[in-house]
Amino acid sequence: RGRICNEDLSNAAEAEEFIIRDDAGRADCGYPWIASLGDNKYIIIYYLNPPDDGCGGIYATVAEIK
């Protein structure tokens, strides 16, 4: 899950939450890094334990945020 916040996090409680992935095998996931790809697109890189193989790894999602 993610939220788009002001730089100083002053709107963190009110910022709309969005789902990045909903298929983690366990709660041990996260540690995100985000970078702009331009044109309102961002790459979100994170650690995830997928439910199918039990072996965690580094994954990425590209999201368009308007």
Tens of pLDDT, residues 14-34: 998 888 888 887 777 788 899
HEC per residue, the chain: CEECCCCCCCCCCCCCEECCCCCCCCCCCEEEEEEEEECCEEEEEEEECCCCCCCCEEEEEEEECC
pLDDT digit string, tens, across residues 46-58: 998 877 766 788 9
What is each CA distance from 9 to 3, 39, 54, 65, in whole angstroms? 10, 23, 34, 18
Say if pTM beats, i.e. exceeds, 0.85: no
